[in-house]
Amino acid sequence: MKIARIGPAGQEIPVLVGNDGRIRDLRAVVGDISSQALGDGVLALVRELDVNSLPVIAAQDVRFGPPVADVGKIICVGLNYTDHAAEVGLDLPTEPTIFMKGCRPTGANDPVRLPRGAEKGDWEVELGIVIGKSGMYVEEAQAIEHVAGYCLFNDLTERSYQMERGGQWTKGKSFPGFAPMGPWLVTTDEIEDPENLSIWLEVNGHRHQDGTTANLVFGVAKIVSYLSQFYALEPGDLIVTGTPAGVGLGHKPPVFLKAGDVVHLGIDGLGEQRQNILAWEG
């Protein structure tokens, strides 16, 4: 089941995207896909519906907003692909490397503005985990019960802020617009094995990242269980699980984003994104 929110920013409406590609209106079932709705089990309610009874929305060039209206924490896992750790010359972590992303999610295809004077804008295609059930000290065997579904995410980064300005990684990860999410939330029942999906990213038509989630160091259940030792996981929280090899920083010499670039990315079963990269204005 693919759940999405479409429309202008701040005016999105909840929809279901069928396997036939039709977009069906969910407003008669739920006001919005919010953290409260996830916590109240709205996805289970939608799953029981006769999809064909829902009104079809005739839409072309529709904007997909973030599939959850009010994402809470964005918790990121770094160095979580064996091939990515190798390309940046770092040892594999013995425990998940955790940092936070301090900006709000944006729509899957919304344009992205680079920071003023940016020199090292970078891309990171990632598998996102959306929490649907609260929990602390979650056992690994029960971890997936706390997951509402999965989504595509681009963990955009200004590397000069991340690597050269001191402190933690968060400042390089948190510029407004650096969190494209979606286009939709895919429920766990539709993704048989989240750790066996192809994952890729292109810039201006050139494929830089071409990997598989089979190379995750720490898998979905492990990550959810691990994080629940340190955070109270809540419905609407988003966990992004790391990126495979092929980031701009890993190239020799490095390759970074510039105004006019087009970033295109996807994960099997989770859809695709396309972002136009713009310069900062003002």
Backbone angles phi, psi at 108, to 5 degrees: -60, -35
Domain coverage including residue 96: 74-278
DSSP per-residue codes, 28-79: TT-S---HHHHHTTHHHHHHTS-GGGSPBP--SS--B--SSTT---EEEEES
Cα–Cα distance between 187 and 121 in angstroms, integer? 31
Each residue's pLDDT, cut to its tens digit, for the chain (282 residues) gives 999 999 999 999 999 998 888 999 999 999 999 999 999 999 998 888 888 889 999 877 899 999 999 999 999 999 899 888 788 777 888 999 999 999 999 999 999 999 998 889 999 999 999 999 999 999 999 999 999 999 999 999 999 998 878 777 899 999 999 999 999 999 999 999 999 999 999 999 999 999 999 999 999 999 999 999 999 999 999 999 999 999 999 998 999 999 999 999 999 999 999 999 999 987
DSSP-H helix ranges across 125-219: 159-164, 170-173
Do 159 and 247 share a domain, yes or no?
A: yes
DSSP state of 38: H
Is residue 63 situated within a structural domain? no
The predicted pLDDT at position 99 comes to 94
Is residue 59 situated within a structural domain? no
The predicted pLDDT at position 61 comes to 83
Do 164 and 213 share a domain, yes or no?
A: yes
Is residue 69 situated within a structural domain? no
Neighbours of 104 (CB within 10 A): 15
The reply to whether omega before 8 is within 30° of 0 (cis) is no
Strands 13-17 and 2-6: antiparallel
Spatial neighbors of 167 by CB under 8 A, at least 6 apart, are none
HSE of 8 in the Cβ direction (CA atoms, 13 Å)? 1
Do 45 and 146 share a domain, yes or no?
A: no
Cα–Cα distance between 50 and 80 in angstroms, integer? 39
Do 78 and 49 share a domain, yes or no?
A: no
Q: Are 245 and 86 in contact (CB under 8 A)?
A: yes
CATH code of residue 247: 3.90.850.10
Cα–Cα distance between 31 and 39 in angstroms, integer? 14
Do 101 and 224 share a domain, yes or no?
A: yes
The predicted pLDDT at position 85 comes to 76
Is residue 58 situated within a structural domain? no
Is residue 64 situated within a structural domain? no
Is residue 67 situated within a structural domain? no
Is residue 129 situated within a structural domain? yes
Do 28 and 87 share a domain, yes or no?
A: no
Backbone angles phi, psi at 220, to 5 degrees: -60, -55
Read off the tokens for 89.
């010359």
The predicted pLDDT at position 268 comes to 97
Number of structural domains found in the chain: 2
Do 36 and 96 share a domain, yes or no?
A: no
The predicted pLDDT at position 21 comes to 86
Q: Are 42 and 33 in contact (CB under 8 A)?
A: yes
Is residue 142 situated within a structural domain? yes
Do 202 and 85 share a domain, yes or no?
A: yes
Cα–Cα distance between 100 and 170 in angstroms, integer? 6
The predicted pLDDT at position 203 comes to 98
Do 83 and 47 share a domain, yes or no?
A: no
The predicted pLDDT at position 189 comes to 94
Do 28 and 115 share a domain, yes or no?
A: no
- Residue 222 parent element (H or E): helix 220-227
Residue in 184, 63, 172 with CA at minimum distance from that of residue 123: 172
How far is residue 52 from each of residues 1, 46, 49, 56, measured CA to CA in Å?
13, 12, 9, 9
Do 161 and 31 share a domain, yes or no?
A: no
Residue in 128, 152, 108 with CA at minimum distance from that of residue 274: 108
Do 190 and 110 share a domain, yes or no?
A: yes
